Structure 1
Amino acid sequence: MFVQHTPPHTPPFRGNLADFSGRRGWEEGIKDGYAEGYLRGRAKVIVGAPKQGFAFRQVKILYVGTGKSFPYSPIDEAIIATLQTLAAEVIVSVIGQPIGELAATHRPDLVLVLDGVELPTDQIDTIRGIGIRTAIWFTDDPYYTDFTSNIAPHYDYVFTMERNCVDYYRSLGCSNVYYLPFAAYTEHYHPTLTLSPVRRNISFIGSAYWNRVNFFQPIIGGLMENGLVINGIWWDRLPEHVNYTNQIELGKWMGPLETSEAYSGSKIVINLHRSPIDESVNNNTIGITASSPNPRTFEIAACGTLQLVDVREDLASFYTPGVEIETYSTSDELMEKVNFYLTHEKERQEIALRALEKTYRDHTYSNRIHQMFEHIFG
């Protein structure tokens, strides 16, 4: 049941004008403290609610991780931990080990590969040749389709985080292709349930791809005045970064727990997708466009904070704009919504809490692995 939340009553001010600013600060502190407590309390109820159960399968999985560091290692960790809750046996390996020999020895029901760009496809051909099912979950679609197009046909099942890649892989002769975006691993990404040690108005955490630099530049002054803090690599590309050395942390790749704490301690988190047509970093010669949300979409939502995300066509399949998430199309629209939600506490919190509830219910790795198993095992 929704309960209207009203800050506690404070008595009218009767002091002299010299004391007014102190009294006003005290009242604002009471108001902010109440709002913070309300948000954390509601988030605690949502996080502690009973979780949906998923089928436990008597199957043996050989999982082949990327063997890479950030940002891939937290995904490996999330998938391994989730597999161990849904499958009877999980054997963990990484690219660089003799995957074919491991499969021949253990005879798993499925060899599941994450990314797979550096895994020789002849090893997968050998595994399929002895009758073991194989699947790959691509991590970076559509940005590296020049590579993945040569890999996908070697697997029995192909899972992609980009909806627009499904038909492309099918056109290459892959018969079992499924759209399966990543999710939030709630052991990493979750709201802070006590008073947060991080207090920010606005956060952006991510690399300075050129489309992000160009998008932020016209409004960077206004964002900084409103308290934006940026963490990530390459932000020296932004000419104005020298004016905001206390608000732009250069060259830091934050781990998931530190990122989660920053998300949860922010009133607003900005999510701006990278461009699928950036020739300086992508390998997407055929120019497949991107319509699906990035993993950060689910991770921010899992931290109980308001997310402002640039519009992507398939975003509404996961969160309802204006209800569970808020979107923007232009720099000016982003600035307008930042100004609105920084001054409308109740509206901001309710959207954030609805996104949190939706994520914990529908967008965890348990949801995704369960969907994958349904496709493979029936």
Structure 2
Amino acid sequence: MHICLVLDKSNIIFLNSFLEALTINQIKCTPFIVDSSRDFIAQRNELLKLLQQEDISYILSINEYYDEQKRNLYDDTILEQAKINVWYVDTMQHGEYMPNIVKKYNKIYTFEPTDIEYAKQLYDIDIEYLPFGAGRNLFASDDLTKQKSYEYDICFVGLVAGSTYRLSILNAIAQLCIKNNYKFALYGHFWHSNHYLQQIIGSIKFRYKYPDLYKYVHNQKLEPNKVVDLYRKSRICLNIHNQNHTGLNCRSFEIMGNGNFLLTDKKDTDRLNIKAGVDYEDYSNMEELTNKISYFLCHDKERECIALNGAACVRQNYTIDRLISKVIIFD
């Protein structure tokens, strides 16, 4: 089988993991990268030409793509050339999609549990839940028998700018760290820094508003291999989901896959073969979060046992190569 993997620039960070997963499944793949800043008609023609030249009859689309004029990347000419399976690694509830196109897809999978009812009610279509897991080579390949060497007590990686939800949680943790002398590492986008002046002004404003949190912030994006290294060096790896998402995201599986301890906000895991308190820990409010941080920093063996359980669970069930084997069925 030869498929075309379609994804946009925002998800290109996962490209190597997808290619690795398809290779493990013995699937030949030609990627096509969508550029949202370019005209979709031109890109649609480029995609059609690629499908015809490479004699490709199957597309795996990572999310769905619309331009500012609400034109779908896939029209009837593409649908006549190839069967399309869509895997939403973000919720499909960001806007109104065209029912006539949605109903023509071969299969639709989503990492967001509430999309299932949404799709049924709005479009009268059945879609399947499929979480977005961890790339095996990067996030599920460590030797779990090797002793870890910790530099930090707690770490967090993610987009924070504009999220009062994440900022409030991280600020409370920063205050806990100051009080207890915990080592805390924060990486991600906290303020805009497209140029030098913006970086300086943003830093000053953030420091004024969040003086405690500022002490721990590294306002920079980490490459995946650096993220892996940070997780290895941290006793507790914190995940704070987007409030619009009700299921575990890929970062949760990426943390667990190499035997790191995950502490995350409580999410819907009813469809998953994974259990809070066994494979990872979760929290429902700030008091529970701070209590669990303090507890697990004092109970190494219990924390490490949970981390190893999580690694076994992810490696057996939730690496991208295992999950993608379901998505590439085009019958």
Q: TM-score range by the shorter chain?
A: 0.7 to 0.9
CA distance in 1, matches of 2:55, 2:241: 40
1:268 aligns with 2:236: yes
1:95-114 pair list within 5 angstroms = 95=34, 97=43, 98-114=46-62
Larger of the two Rg values belongs to structure? 1
Task: Name 2:25's counterpart in structure 1.
Answer: 86
- The alignment partner of 2:311 has SS state of helix
Question: Which amino acid is the alignment partner of residue 157 of structure 2?
Answer: I
Task: Name 1:40's counterpart in structure 2.
Answer: none
Task: Name 1:303's counterpart in structure 2.
Answer: 258
Q: Write the deviation string for residues 94-116 of structure 1: whole angstroms up to 9, x where unpaired.
A: 22541122223333241111223
Structure 2 length normalisation: TM-score? 0.81
Question: Which amino acid is the alignment partner of residue 309 of structure 2?
Answer: R
Alpha-carbon shift at residue 146 of structure 1 (Å): 0.9
CA distance in 1, matches of 2:57, 2:17: 20
Alpha-carbon shift at residue 196 of structure 1 (Å): 5.7
Task: Name 2:186's counterpart in structure 1.
Answer: 230
- The alignment partner of 1:323 has SS state of coil
Task: Name 2:196's counterpart in structure 1.
Answer: none
Q: CA RMSD in A?
A: 2.6
Task: Name 1:339's counterpart in structure 2.
Answer: 294
Task: Name 1:220's counterpart in structure 2.
Answer: 174
Percent of aligned pairs sharing the same letter: 21
**Structure 1 residues without counterparts, runs of 5 or longer:** 1-58, 277-289
Mapped contact 1:202–1:266 kept (Cα < 8 A): yes
Distance 1:81 1:148, change over 3 A: farther
**Structure 2 residues without counterparts, runs of 5 or longer:** 36-42, 192-202
CA distance in 1, matches of 2:142, 2:20: 22
Mapped contact 1:149–1:169 kept (Cα < 8 A): no
**Aligned residue-pair number:** 299
Task: Name 1:116's counterpart in structure 2.
Answer: 64
By relative contact order (CA 8 Å, sep 6+), the higher-ranking structure is 2
1:358 aligns with 2:313: yes
Task: Name 1:125's counterpart in structure 2.
Answer: 76
Task: Name 2:284's counterpart in structure 1.
Answer: 329
CA distance in 2, matches of 1:372, 1:271: 26
Distance 1:95 1:242, change over 3 A: same
CA distance in 1, matches of 2:233, 2:57: 43
Distance 1:186 1:89, change over 3 A: closer
Task: Name 1:76's counterpart in structure 2.
Answer: 15
Task: Name 1:206's counterpart in structure 2.
Answer: 158
Task: Name 1:165's counterpart in structure 2.
Answer: 115
Task: Name 2:132's counterpart in structure 1.
Answer: 182
Question: Which amino acid is the alignment partner of residue 211 of structure 1?
Answer: Y
Distance 1:334 1:311, change over 3 A: same
Distance 1:219 1:275, change over 3 A: same
Alpha-carbon shift at residue 314 of structure 1 (Å): 2.2
Distance 1:176 1:243, change over 3 A: closer
Mapped contact 2:171–2:213 kept (Cα < 8 A): no
Distance 1:157 1:172, change over 3 A: farther
Q: Which moved more, 1:172-181 or 1:295-304?
A: 172-181
CA distance in 1, matches of 2:89, 2:292: 31
Q: Write the deviation string for residues 214-258 of structure 1: whole angstroms up to 9, x where unpaired.
A: 2333443113432221111126658664345552112x1111110
- The alignment partner of 1:65 has SS state of strand
- The alignment partner of 1:155 has SS state of coil
